[in-house]
Amino acid sequence: MTWNPDSWRARPAAHQPTWPDQTELERVEKELAAVPPLVFAGEARDLKAKLARVAQGEAFLLQAGDCAESFDGFSADAIREKLRVILQMAVVLTYSSGVPAIKVGRIAGQFAKPRSKPTETVDGTELPSFLGHMVNDLPFSARDRRPEPARLLQAYNQSASTLNLLRAFTKGGFADLHRVQAWNQEFVASSAEGQRYRALAAEIDRALRFMESTGVSSQHPEIHEAEFFTSHEALILQYEEALTRKDSLTDEWYDCSAHMLWIGERTRQLDGAHVEFLRGVRNPVGCKVGPTATPDEIVGICERLNPEREPGRLTLISRMGAGAVADGLPPLLEAVRDAGHPVVWTCDPMHGNTFTSETGHKTRHFDDVLAEVTGFFAAHRQAGTWPGGIHVELTGDDVTECLGGADQLQAEDLGRRYETMCDPRLNARQGLDLAFRVAELVDPNHVPVELP
């Protein structure tokens, strides 16, 4: 089957906006096709090699960030706080479980959302649903909800400056392990998780000082710099196609809008446009796996997206819901295992556990998040496969969007700081708490997986 960056156009593409101005869309596509890539093919290959270690049971994937990034809340502070909590979580996972955590943000491109309904009706007025800032705007007015191609350019520009700042923070000293104490934000430090983190960070400090005092250099780049990768759902395929470039080194196609791209639960049709597009780029790719997925479907996805069975190429992101994971996941793990596909399995404990609180807020309960992660680990223990990571929606800010956690957030607290553009996110304390709980679930005596 031949593949081209535009071969998806011959397939049905689910969850696409109806762009009112096609001429303008084509003009923007041309402009995007000429801009510099955001990431380089070599970086995507580097991530793929790291994910191959996850597939082998030698590392853990921490993928985290906003449900939807916003054009409005764009600031250096917000990026830094998000990075900070992800660095903290990765340190907790790595130090407590002894397994290195690979850090991938839902960031610098996560601007498009599939929605349950294409339109929304309020008081008899029907308008297109909000599909993320890459497409339209949130306020309920005809002007705001109109899909505007110029937003694709704004998404590119915001991604470029976000990525620039992330590179500066991770390589320029902010992420130096010697600063592990300083990552603890004030509103986190005062909490039980924050104190638990402080104790762990003190141990790391002591270990670094010990190394230095024995003359072992702690000047390795690994100690001074963090490796951090970007990812988003590849939903708006005109954007992804325009940023797809041929790598001059290997002559292969890479989607240079992010290091890793994934296919959402609503767009994973085997013969659909999204699977067609991602099968041809050489980046590491992901696919969400919800409770309706059948073993045949998922093995079909593996065959289509990773026919060469390259470890690290494909990550399956299970999002069953706390109530469905125990029965739903094991048959899929077994089918993929028996088909000999070397995938990374990770757990998104957010999207199967969303409900509307009595205050009308879309929310999730921390206990459900934890229950799904626990069920995910149990299913892997049963199948003899490696629970390779977590995929979560979070922010570094002190928001009140998810219930429960050590603070015991209640429905009446949700209105206090409910700021998400789309789905409810864990706040920094809940994120850190989750990292400690997950680290406890990782089996320190696990044996590496034998890949086919």
By CB under 6 A, is residue 17 in contact with ligand PEP? Answer: no
By CB under 6 A, is residue 265 in contact with ligand PEP? Answer: yes
The region of 117-125, 262-270, 300-308, 410-418 touching ligand PEP under the rule CB under 6 A is 262-270
- Using Cβ positions, the residue closest to ligand PEP within the complex turns out to be 264
C-alpha dist (Å) from residue 165 to 75, 77, 157, 270, 415:
10, 10, 13, 37, 31
Structure tokens at 121: 């009706």
CB of 374 to ligand PEP, least distance (A): 19
Residue closer to ligand PEP, measured from CB, 185 or 257: 257
* Cα–Cα nearest to 60, from 387, 281, 381: 387
CB of 132 to Co ion, least distance (A): 10
| Residue 409 β-bridge partners | 404
Interacting partner of 82 out of Co ion, ligand PEP, none (Cβ under 5 to 8 A depending on kind): none
Other beta carbons within 10 Å of 409? 22
By CB under 6 A, is residue 103 in contact with ligand PEP? Answer: no
Structure tokens at 407: 């603070």
CB of 128 to ligand PEP, least distance (A): 17
Instruction: Please give the residues from 293 up to 322 whose contact with ligand PEP meets the rule CB under 6 A.
Output: 319
Report the distance separating Cα 84 and Cα 73, nearest Å: 17
DSSP 447: P
Considering only 264, 286, 375, 404, the residue that binds ligand PEP (CB under 6 A) is 264
What Rg value do the Cα atoms of the chain yield, rounded? Answer: 21
Other beta carbons within 10 Å of 294? 11
Interacting partner of 265 out of ligand PEP, Co ion, none (Cβ under 5 to 8 A depending on kind): ligand PEP
344-347/387-393 β-pairing = parallel
Q: Where are the beta strands (DSSP E) in 95-200?
A: 101-106, 119-122, 125-128
Report the distance separating Cα 67 and Cα 283, nearest Å: 21
* Cα–Cα nearest to 376, from 445, 326, 303: 326
The region of 217-225, 258-266, 376-384, 425-433 touching ligand PEP under the rule CB under 6 A is 258-266
By CB under 6 A, is residue 329 in contact with ligand PEP? Answer: no
CB of 41 to ligand PEP, least distance (A): 25
Residue closer to Co ion, measured from CB, 67 or 344: 67
Interacting partner of 66 out of Co ion, ligand PEP, none (Cβ under 5 to 8 A depending on kind): none
Binding residues for Co ion (CB under 5 A): 67, 423
Interacting partner of 45 out of Co ion, ligand PEP, none (Cβ under 5 to 8 A depending on kind): none
Helix (H, G, I), strand (E, B) or coil at 350: coil
Considering only 32, 52, 67, 371, the residue that binds ligand PEP (CB under 6 A) is 67
Interacting partner of 319 out of Co ion, ligand PEP, none (Cβ under 5 to 8 A depending on kind): ligand PEP
3-state secondary structure 420-433: CCCCCCECHHHHHH
Structure tokens at 12: 């049905």
Residue closer to ligand PEP, measured from CB, 137 or 348: 348
By CB under 6 A, is residue 351 in contact with ligand PEP? Answer: yes
CB of 350 to ligand PEP, least distance (A): 7
Report the distance separating Cα 407 and Cα 95, nearest Å: 25
Residues that bind ligand PEP (CB under 6 A): 67, 114, 233, 264-266, 288, 319, 351, 423
